[in-house]
Amino acid sequence: MKYDFAVIGAGPAGYIAAKKAASAGKKVLLVEKKKLGGVCLNEGCVPSKTLLQAAKTYRHAKHGSIFGVEVEGVRFDFPKAHQHKNNVMNKMRDGIAGLMKKYKVDIVEGEAKLLPNFPIEIEGETHEATDILLCTGSSPAIPPIPGVDLEHVVDSTGILDRETLPNHLVVVGGGVIGCEFACMYASVGVQVTVLEAMPEICPNLDPEVSASLRDGLTKKGVTFNLGAKVESISADKVSYADDSGSNELEADLVLVATGRRPNTKNLGLEELGLDIDDRGGVRVDNRGATNIPGLWAAGDVTGQAWLAHAASRMAEVVVNNITGRKDHMRYDSMPAVVYTSPEVAVVGLTKEEAEARGIKVKVGRIPMAINARYIAENPDETGFCKVILEADTRKLLGVHMVGGACSEMIFGATAMLETELREEEIEEIVFPHPTTSEIIKDVFMAVR
Ligand code: NAI
């Protein structure tokens, strides 16, 4: 069959691109070798956030007495939480299938391989397309640590299938994935230790945000060993080296969360001469175009951003360019969230990033605890909101928050950044009272 647009991979880049191109009148093929929704829906964002919510609900019930809620004999039923997780995933998959049907996207199940001049081979059948979007996602990058293939050692996919709680979970890697699972397991009473090779967890965040997240998770019962490089894993122990020398921890479940790598193998890309960068990602310009005309890429396969919402936006940019609307990626206004308790939500530059670009900045910072709604709802949490402005123009450059459910507020700051608002324009925006979002208005009072 001959298509206008073929999409390889049905994750948050693929299904968004397919729907958008089809609604613009293109004849669209969507190829998927596993399940609709990709890693985000089946092995990542959606199941992990559902389990995190289950753990949060348990913790709230257990610690509800400050609100006057006394619950006798509260207990956590992990298999039931998994059932809810599976129901959510099924519902969302049905939703995507319905969307594709509505927009008359042809879905083919199978593994696609690209041949020169754009025939696409899927399980022995060949299709053609004028433009192709490669959005095959990423997989956990497993370091060559001896013992990493033992049965009790899992990656971020494997841990989602475990329905029994361990006694001691050791997490290798204090990045976003490591922190989210550490929070989930610690919240339901499991002993959790995170071993992070760097001097701080989530090293890509504002350093004060990382430190505050670590404090918050420590209060939830997570132990962090920083500067700890894992050397080997045995049936019941994890061996690591830090400043004090060689150490060992007992563990009956080990999560390896040391980053991800783009999925570029077995697609015929080498034969096509596709440009791959040093970190294994498909090299694209800011429209998503590769070095081969008509071949585009979006999402984790590019090795950029590693975020589901970034993948969807990259896909929209590609489709806009194919359908005649100029568009490009703007990573400086890409929000990022860590869905722990407390949550982290950030958008834009940190002070350090802005200064490295030679920009003179002004910084404002206020504790979340000045906000009435926040302390009413989060009696045991601290956290803060920090804003970065360009010194001369007072243009907003970044907002960095830790505390409560700040994931639900970062969209407001993202819209301000995307529309390049300045302090005086933000002052004119009315925030409903009492809401935690008022913190984003009040933080400007503290700019120095
Ligand atoms: P990451 O790159 O965020 O963190 C991995 C950490 O492991 C690093 O801090 C690294 O220093 C440490 N590490 C590496 N080797 C080690 C060793 N041998 N011993 C101890 N520590 C070691 O990777 P992560 O957490 O696996 O996440 C992968 C990607 O997925 C990230 O880019 C993340 O942003 C994205 N993601 C985003 C989510 C969100 O937006 N909420 C949720 C989950 C993943």
Measured from the Cα of 177, ligand 1's closest atom is 25
Q: Does ligand 1 lie within 6 Å of residue 337's CB atom?
A: yes
Q: Does ligand 1 lie within 6 Å of residue 172's CB atom?
A: yes
Q: Does ligand 1 lie within 6 Å of residue 259's CB atom?
A: yes
Q: What is the rounded CA–CA span in Å between residue 41 and residue 269?
A: 26
Q: Which of 393, 406, 238, 387 lies closest to 336, judged by CA? A: 406
What burial letters (b/e) apply to 27-57, b meaning 16+ CB within 10 Å? Answer: bbbbbbbebbbbbbbbbbbbbbbbbbbbbbe
Q: What is the pLDDT along the chain (448 residues), one digit of tens a residue?
A: 999 999 999 999 999 999 999 999 999 999 999 999 999 999 999 999 999 999 999 999 999 999 999 989 999 999 999 999 999 999 999 999 999 999 999 999 999 999 988 899 999 999 999 999 999 999 999 999 999 999 999 999 999 999 999 999 999 999 999 999 999 999 999 999 999 999 999 999 999 999 999 999 999 999 999 999 999 999 999 999 999 999 999 999 999 999 999 999 999 999 999 999 999 999 999 999 999 999 999 999 999 999 999 999 999 999 999 999 999 999 999 999 999 999 999 999 999 999 999 999 999 999 999 999 999 999 888 899 999 999 999 999 999 999 999 999 999 999 999 999 999 999 999 999 999 999 999 999 999 8
CB atoms within 10 A of CB 302: 27
Compute, in angstroms, the gap from residue 398 CA to the centroid of ligand 1: 22
Q: What is the rounded CA–CA span in Å between residue 153 and residue 147?
A: 8
For residue 232, the SS3 value is strand
Alpha carbon of 46 to those of 11, 50, 66, 265: distances in Å? 12, 6, 30, 26
**Structure token digits, residue 70:** 């006394």
Measured from the Cα of 257, ligand 1's closest atom is 26
Q: What is the rounded CA–CA span in Å between residue 33 and residue 293?
A: 25
Q: What is the rounded CA–CA span in Å between residue 196 and residue 377?
A: 31
Compute, in angstroms, the gap from residue 258 CA to the centroid of ligand 1: 5
Measured from the Cα of 140, ligand 1's closest atom is 26
Q: Whose CA is nearest to atom 14 of ligand 1?
A: 258
For residue 243, the SS3 value is coil
Measured from the Cα of 176, ligand 1's closest atom is 25
Q: Whose CA is nearest to atom 23 of ligand 1?
A: 259
Q: Which of 201, 194, 197 lies closest to 176, judged by CA? A: 201
Q: Does ligand 1 lie within 6 Å of residue 173's CB atom?
A: yes
Measured from the Cα of 198, ligand 1's closest atom is 11
Q: What is the rounded CA–CA span in Å between residue 418 and residue 436?
A: 21
Q: What is the rounded CA–CA span in Å between residue 436 and residue 384?
A: 11
Q: Does ligand 1 lie within 6 Å of residue 262's CB atom?
A: no
Compute, in angstroms, the gap from residue 201 CA to the centroid of ligand 1: 9
The pLDDT, as a whole number, for residue 400 is 98
**Structure token digits, residue 274:** 């596709």
Q: Which secondary-structure segment (H or E) carries 57?
A: helix 45-62
The pLDDT, as a whole number, for residue 262 is 98
Compute, in angstroms, the gap from residue 127 CA to the centroid of ligand 1: 37
The pLDDT, as a whole number, for residue 131 is 97
Q: Does ligand 1 lie within 6 Å of residue 227's CB atom?
A: no
Q: Which of 300, 317, 368, 308 lies closest to 335, judged by CA? A: 308
Scanning 72-227, the segments in alpha helix (DSSP H) are 78-102, 176-187, 207-219
Q: Does ligand 1 lie within 6 Å of residue 410's CB atom?
A: no
For residue 114, the SS3 value is strand
With the most atoms of ligand 1 within 8 angstroms of its CB, the residue from 139, 145, 156, 177 to mutate is: 177
Compute, in angstroms, the gap from residue 119 CA to the centroid of ligand 1: 36
Phi and psi torsions of 165, nearest 5°: -85, 135
Compute, in angstroms, the gap from residue 172 CA to the centroid of ligand 1: 9
Compute, in angstroms, the gap from residue 257 CA to the centroid of ligand 1: 6
The pLDDT, as a whole number, for residue 448 is 86
DSSP 198-212: SSSSSTTS-HHHHHH
With the most atoms of ligand 1 within 8 angstroms of its CB, the residue from 176, 180, 209, 242 to mutate is: 176
Measured from the Cα of 240, ligand 1's closest atom is 19
Residues tagged active-site: 433
Q: What is the rounded CA–CA span in Å between residue 93 and residue 47?
A: 12
Q: Whose CA is nearest to atom 30 of ligand 1?
A: 306
Dihedral Cα 313, 314, 320, 323, nearest 10 deg:
-130
End-to-end CA separation in angstroms for the chain: 62
